[in-house]
Amino acid sequence: MQNTPVSSLVGEEYEVEVGPVAHGGHCIARTEAGRVLFVRHALPGERVVARVTEGEETSRFLRADAVTILDPSKDRVEAPCPFAGPGKCGGCDWQHAKPGAQRRLKGEVIAEQLQRLAGLAPEEAGWDGTVMPAEGDKLPQGEVPQWRTRVQYAIDADGHAGLRKHRSHEVEAIDHCMIAAPGVSELGIEKRTWENMASVEAIAASGSHDRQVVLTPKPGGRLPLVELDKPVSVLRVDEKDGGVHRVHGRAFVRERADDRTYRVGNGGFWQVHPKAAQTLMLAVMQGLTPRKGETALDLYCGVGLFAGAIADRVGDQGAVLGIESGKRAVEDARHNLAAFPRVRIEQGKVESVLPRTGITEVDLIVLDPPRAGAGKQTVHHLAGLGARRIAYVACDPAALARDLSYFADRGYKVRTLRAFDLFPMTHHVECVAILEPAKKDA
């Protein structure tokens, strides 16, 4: 019996009416035959010609780019970046939308995910439906927030720095990234050739003048002599174990939040937008309202941002336990929080370490899980600890909604939800949900 060859539809074009925004930086449309298209570079209500970029006759849906705009939305603008558009850089999703429209689209995605996955209307989540811009990000039309303090450049076959195309390993060579922070742009990464390198990550701390590049060589590639336009520390990623090692300069950068300096080593995690750490810390503290003498958990604690803020507020009679899987992040967190004797940081995965702690009750919990969320097992464990308030920091509204449904199953309701546009021009959005026991009076 012979298999019938599957016919690719890549390159096919359809004239479609664009429907609602969907999670992932695209909108939904349907062909006259009813086939679903996920269309990038479009806006709801537009009529466009969509060219298929992924999909076959048997696919449940097709991915496509809007290559011709027949009836534009009033929210459409010309993309300010010359590298944005169909077939180009995949870093930005909404360069073609006004800033206010971008935030509305993100709000619509959050609302849809909450309703579909958690059965929550915005008012039931204590949310007014708005996505707040970061301080300083409201700019005149045509200007773009220069917010990205960490940029990972892919290196093409000729050694030129660029950014990946959407859902592709192909590199779009660029001479400047418009959303890169000034501290990244001033290094001049795009102006030089990076032979034998697979990627170059540029880091410009917003809490200091520290600058760092993390080099990932191609297999067997030798490190170049790094001469950039500003003083910079150099680290490299080991091709065997994936570890990050110092070549010269500091192995860390210094960041600031809550009037405290945080050391972040070996290219480790810190919020990318310069206002993000402070914005999220304040949202979490305002939601939790820590009291003197309380106990708290900080899960997926990174270098200790939330643990430090809570420890400062619960005082000498309180206690905080942080759990983090990254070895270097744990070392940094212990260094950053050394002034708080009642803070303890444990290394390991939350789902493994938390049960071993023997903790049966706690007053406050903050969790800032990776994009996939915390998951049912961890959520159910946390719900059994009786915390009076839980702060959930989420970079993915779908994972947040799923986990909120798990919390609801175990007796926790959402008290408030706030959303922040900490990734302008992209589809990403940050949320802070505050939960409390459902039977507790506000």
By annotation, the residues acting in catalysis are 395
Q: How far apart are CA 248 and CA 234, in angstroms?
A: 5
Q: How far apart are CA 306 and CA 279, in angstroms?
A: 12
Handedness of CA 61, 67, 71, 77 (dihedral sign): positive
Q: How far apart are CA 184 and CA 201, in angstroms?
A: 10
Tokens representing 407 are 């919390």
Q: What are φ and ψ of residue 132, in 5° steps?
A: -85, 135
Among candidates 311, 260, 276, which has minimal Cα distance to 290? Answer: 311
Q: How far apart are CA 187 and CA 174, in angstroms?
A: 14
Cα separations in angstroms, 126 against 119, 196, 217: 14, 52, 48
Exposed, middle or buried: residue 353 (CB in 10 Å: 0-12, 13-18, 19+)? middle
Work out the number of other CB atoms within 10 angstroms of the CB of residue 182: 10
Among candidates 90, 131, 105, which has minimal Cα distance to 45? Answer: 105
Q: How far apart are CA 332 and CA 336, in angstroms?
A: 6
The number of C-alpha atoms within 13 Å of 177 and in the hemisphere containing its C-beta is: 33
**Pair type for strands 233-237 and 211-217:** parallel
Residue 68 forms beta bridges with which residues?
Answer: 49
Exposed, middle or buried: residue 156 (CB in 10 Å: 0-12, 13-18, 19+)? middle
**Pair type for strands 389-394 and 412-421:** unpaired
Residues in CB range of 375: below 8 A, 6 or more apart: 351, 403, 406
